[in-house]
Amino acid sequence: MGTEPATPSGMSVRLFCACRVVASFLLGGACLLWLVAASLPAARAAGAASRPVTIQELCLLLRGGYTGAEVLRETSGRPLLEPLDDTAQRNLRTAGADQRFIDALKASHPALTDAEAEAARQQQSAIDARTAEGKAAYVSRMYEANKQAFEAHADARKQDALGQMAKRMRGQLVALRDDHLQPVGDDAVDSKKLFAFYFSAEHSRPCRQFTPTLVKFYQDFAPKHAAFDLVLVSLDRSAAEMESAMRQEAMPWPALAFDRRAAQPNLMKMGDGDLPRLVLIDGEGRLVVDSYADGKYVGPQRVLDALAKLAAAGGG
């Protein structure tokens, strides 16, 4: 008895198409880079070491973990684009530099004159413009050549980008609107990649003491980081008590609907222990930082400090 030939599933076809698009893109990119590298004159390569270094570059290297000696070695032979004035020194110290580094920088990296600095800026601007123009033209050609596959791949990636936590929160959240709790739309949830869950109860005095601090932090932090949100997980005795607490404390963040708590057993388990408790979770449901350290309760401020550090490091 004959058998029908196996037909690849839709997922396999999409995966194959996506792999083909990515492979084509990478191969084309490698060719482009090779052509650009081959066209650079030897004199340009020899002069790269003398390209002026900016204070911002030095700060980035220091923040990236380089020691002062390593930074000086990596930028050896490169003059400073800006003067090493009080503002520049203050920025370097903020990035981790000490006075020995600043003194050595003065001795080994003389600042350009105003005319030299302006000429260097214009030269770099011209290089950046040519690079951006070439990249845009290449991407445009690649897109037109693989338009259909790119669009299918983009749709698949959009669905994949919806992390586990966003999926779990869809249809589960409420927020105060017009002085009443109303459902939060899924669109607002889908864009979030980092969730801080706030386990709190109005009858807990430590919670009432900490909530104003959290409100102030949230009002400053959340508008600057669209991929982040904070969610109240109430441990109050009733839905009415939760709503009253949100209103009295003027909580600007959403809350897990009181009647949906039983449908989130894993999330509710995270709230076991001392209150108030903050738990920071990434989009895939992995723990980032908690109000506990090595099994000991250290308080929710630990999570706020971690969020501030992540934002400062570009984790926003």
All residues at 6 or more sequence positions from 123 whose CB lies less than 8 Å from its CB, including other chains: none
pLDDT of residue 40: 40
pLDDT band at 20 (very low <50, low <70, confident <90, very high): low
CATH code assigned to 164-312:
3.40.30.10
Query: What is the DSSP track for 4-58?
Result: PPP---HHHHHHHHHHHHHHHHHHHHHHHHHHHHHHS-HHHHHHGGGS-B-HHHH
| Burial group, residue 147, by CB count within 10 angstroms (0-12, 13-18, 19+) | exposed
Per the model's pLDDT, the better-predicted residue between 85 and 110 turns out to be 85
Q: What is the pTM of this model?
A: 0.51
| Burial group, residue 192, by CB count within 10 angstroms (0-12, 13-18, 19+) | buried
Nearest in space to 28 (alpha carbons), one of 146, 138, 145: 138
pLDDT of residue 24: 58
pLDDT of residue 35: 46
| Burial group, residue 186, by CB count within 10 angstroms (0-12, 13-18, 19+) | middle
Would you list the domain boundaries of the chain?
44-157, 164-312
- The amino acid occupying position 273 is G
Q: Is the peptide bond before 52 cis (omega within 30 degrees of 0)?
A: no
CB 298 within 8 A of CB 274: no
CB 199 within 8 A of CB 193: no
pLDDT of residue 110: 82
Q: What is the pLDDT of residues 91-107, one digit of tens each?
A: 999 999 999 998 998 88
Strands 287-290 and 277-282: antiparallel
All residues at 6 or more sequence positions from 121 whose CB lies less than 8 Å from its CB, including other chains: 81
| pLDDT exceeds 80 at position 148 | no
